[in-house]
Each structure stands twice: as C-alpha cells, then as structure tokens.
Structure 1
Amino acid sequence: MEFFTRLVVTAAATAVAVWLVPGVELTAVDTADKVITLLVVALIFGLINAFIRPVVTFFSGCLVLITFGLFLLVINALMLELTSWAAGTLGLGFHVEGFWPAFWGSVIISIVGAALGALLDTERS
C-alpha cells in the first residue's frame, strides 16, 4: 500500500511541477491520459531515484561534501532530465526542456512530495 501512496504522491508532485515550471511539459490529450502519463512518469522517476541516483551520489561524493550537500540539487535535476529522456523513449508525453526547468521542477517535486507524504503518512505516530 505504501508503494501506491508514494506513486500517487510523486505523480501529484510532478503535476504541480508541470503546472508551475515553464519548460516542464505534459502533452496528453485528455485527463485520463494525463493521469496515466503522470503515474508512469512517477514510476520511472522512482526507479531512477532508487537505482541510478545512489550510484551518481556515491561517485560525486566529494562534490557533495565540498558544496555542503548543495550538489544534491544538481543530481536531482539530472535525475529529472533522465526521467524526461526515458519518458520520451517510451513515447510518453512528458518533457523537460533543459537544466534550469529540471532544477526548479525537481525542487518543487521534492517540496510538494515531502509535504503530501507527511500529510498522507498515517502509519507513523
């Protein structure tokens, strides 16, 4: 159940980023296509963050330490761009147009995802 909650939270956070950030685009015809696209993009983003992000973070550990963790924002942006590339390869209507939209999009996805996750987390006391 937690997997589906995280998937929906990430999809909703991505929808907010699409709404707020110029350059983060969702091109779907109707509402059902938009929801499905957002859910698949959230799944791709979750897989990339689960498997690729730790490797990139490990190999850029010195930069993360030197910048006091601020380089993690760059890594998050790169993971969103990689998600955009993967979505385009799969023919999904999700695209990020460059580094700065990816940067601000990843910041918004992180903030909104954390806020929604905190609101929906009923298992913790």
Structure 2
Amino acid sequence: MKLIVKLLLTAFAVLVLSNLLSGIVVENYVTAVIIALVLAVLNTFIRPILVVLTLPITIVTLGLFLLVINAIIILIAGNLVSGFYVNGFFTALIFSVLLSIFRSVLFGLIKEEE
C-alpha cells in the first residue's frame, strides 16, 4: 500500500513540475503514473550501476556528480515513455533536483501521518 501511495505522490509531483517548468511535457495523468513507475524501476536497477561505474568522478566532485546521474535517469525515462518529453540536459537536471525536493516533502508528510 505504501508503494502505491509513493508512486501516486511521485506522479503528482511530476505533474506539478511539468506545469512549472517549460521544458517538461507530460501529456496526461496516466502518463505521469507511468513515469513514476519507470523512474522507480530505473532508480532501483540502473542508478546503482551508474553510481558504481562513476564512483571516482563522484568522489572527486564530492557527490555532486550524483545530480548528473539523476538527470541521466530522467533523460532515459523521457526516451522510454511516450507522452513525456524533456527539452534537454539542463532541464532534466533542474527537474531532477526539484523532483527530489518535492518528493522528500511529500514523503515526509506520509511519515507524520502514520
């Protein structure tokens, strides 16, 4: 049940951010839910591989390269999901940072209610 709520909150965050950022397009609500699901799968399987492969760069940049990895995950999701368009790398970078902040706030609200 918690997973479904988190997916729906992520979909809500994607919809809100697509309205705030001009370089992100989400066609409808179903697409937002699919994006949330694809992001969850990519963050579970692909992100750890990218983190291990880029560990030296991440150490040298004191962890800031993880922002680039998040942007790459957003770009991959943009290529996988039809109806979700990302204008470029910097748009994906801003979107990933804002999505992380928004999700943290929303998931924090869930923990307070339980």
Give the TM-score band, short-chain normalised.
over 0.9
Find 1:99's aligned residue among 83, 89, 106.
89
- The residue number in structure 2 matching 1:57 is 51
Instruction: Summarize deviations over 1:47-106 as a string: whole Å, max 9, x none.
Output: 00110000000110111111111100000000000000000xxxx311111101100010
Give yes or no for the alignment of 1:82 onto 2:72: no
Return 5+ residue gaps in structure 1 as ranges. 28-33
Q: Determine what percentage of the aligned residue pairs are the same residue.
A: 35
**How many Å separate the matches in 1 of 2:16 and 2:98?**
7
Q: How big is each residue's C-alpha offset from its partner over 1:24-62, in whole Å with a ceiling of 9 and x where there is no partner?
A: 1113xxxxxx21110011000110011000000011011
More relative contact order, 1 or 2 (CA 8 Å, 6+ apart): 1
After superposition, give the CA deviation of every residue in 1:4-39 in whole Å (9 maximum; x if it has no partner). 011012111111220111211113xxxxxx211100
How big is the alpha-carbon RMSD for the aligned residues of Structure 1 and Structure 2? 1.0
How many residues matched? 113
**Structure 2 portions without partners, runs of 5+:** none
Give the one of 99, 104, 111 matched to 1:114.
104
- My pick for the range that moved more, 60-69 or 8-17, is 8-17
Q: Which range moves more in the overlay, 5-14 or 101-110?
A: 5-14
Report the residue type matching 1:7 in the other structure. Answer: L
Per the normalisation by structure 1, the TM-score is 0.86
| TM, length-normalised to structure 2 | 0.94
Secondary structure at 2:25's aligned position in 1? strand
Alignment match, 2:37: 43
Distance 2:72 2:89 in 1: 8
Instruction: Pick the structure with more helix per residue.
Output: 2
